[in-house]
Amino acid sequence: DQQVKQNSPSLSVQEGRISILNCDYTNSMFDYFLWYKKYPAEGPTFLISISSIKDKNEDGRFTVFLNKSAKHLSLHIVPSQPGDSAVYFCAASEAQGGSEKLVFGKGTKLTVNP
């Protein structure tokens, strides 16, 4: 049973446009959400996170939106750059429950075309 779902395996956008990556979760106890970026043959690197007490968190070109009622979050990248081409993983945790465990989605491969 997948608790974190990324239903789009891939996404292709033009350089300069907005990239929107989506993530849904089923566990209502999740209260902390993260996005990781992964290049081939490398480990994932942390990108941005959001706590359930917020509905938006912004860091430069990256913004994460959280809709708790819909159990949905999204990552917006504006403007998209070719160097953003990577696999993006959504992850969730029950932080207040004292859990250190992250549950990952399957990832979305983003391709930004010049």
Subset of residues 16 to 75 that bind another protein, contact rule: CB under 8 A: 32, 34, 36, 41-46, 49
Is the CB of 20 or the CB of 103 nearer to another protein? 103
Cβ(8)–Cβ(24) below 8 Å: no
> In the set 52, 74, 102, 111, which binds another protein (CB under 8 A)?
102
Per CB under 8 A, 89 contacts another protein: yes
- 30 closest CA partner among 81, 104, 85: 104
Cβ(27)–Cβ(3) below 8 Å: yes
Distance in angstroms (rounded) separating the CA atoms of residues 93 and 60: 24
Residues lying near another protein in the complex (CB under 8 A) = 4, 6, 9, 32, 34, 36, 41-46, 49, 89, 93, 95-96, 98-102, 104-107
